[in-house]
Structures are given as structure tokens and as C-alpha cells.
Amino acid sequence: MIDIHGIMNCIPHRYPFLLLDRVVEMVPKKRIVAIKNVTINEQFFQGHFPGAPVMPGVLIIEAMAQAGAVLILSDVEDRASKLVLFTGIDDARFRQAVVPGDQLRFTLEVLHLRPRACKIKGIAEVDGKKVAEAVILSAMVDRP
């Protein structure tokens, strides 16, 4: 397991854009399972939507990508000098609204991995039900 401090050592994201709380399982270069506890205190709920808060789908995909970045960067020795950037999102589907009080569980599996690029299939679940899925393409680049 990797706690929030370990996640922050792996990826550069910080509040309010760090969208993971814990990694509960990881097989390097193959698979990761991560958790995001969704609370009413999230900034995006102020406007999405007042009186009927729903987590934006794009942020669910971003959280998947952050989990994928943790998976990819965890095995990189000089990860502090690297960034993992989106290069594409394929087959994204949203099946159920994510609301305050939900716990998102992200499971990502590597489909293809090269030294500077990867393709990962991600699934987001709440209470064992699939709420979103996507194939995420990313590139690892040097930080400016």
C-alpha cells in the first residue's frame, strides 16, 4: 500500500488537483488499484451542480490518469525530473453519477508500455459497480 505521502512523492499533483488518497495494490509495470474518497468539500461541487453535486467525468478520468502515472513513475529512478502527460483518451464511458460520500476505486492495467509511452485501461467503481472506464494514452517527458 502507498499512502498519500507516497503518492505525493511519485507525482507532482497537489491540492486541489491531487485526486487520489491511497494505493491499495500495485504490481509494477502491470496493474494498480487506487482509492479516492469523494467528499462534499471538493471545490468542484460548488458549481457542479449547486443543490445536486456530481463529480465531473473529466475529473474521474484525470484521477485514473494520476493512478496510471503513479504506476509508471513508481519504477523510475529519476521520477522527480519526469512528468506523465495525456496523449489521448479512448473509449471513455460514464455509467453512473459519482456523488459526495462515494469511494471511487480505480483499477488500471497496462496494455502497452514503452520507455516513454504507455496505454492503460482504467475502470472506476463505486460499491463494486462500474461508474466509468477509459483507455488512457500517456507520454513520459522531462520536466521543464
Question: Residue 64: exposed, middle, or buried by beta-carbon count in 10 A (0-12, 13-18, 19+)?
Answer: buried
Joined grid coordinates for residue 74? 513508481
Is 48 an active-site residue?
A: yes
Residues comprising the chain, all counted: 144
Of residues 5, 13, 48, 112, which has the active-site annotation? Answer: 48
Which grid cell is 16?
486541489
- Cα separation, 105 vs 40, in Å, equals 18
Would you please indicate which residues are annotated as catalytic (active-site) residues? 48
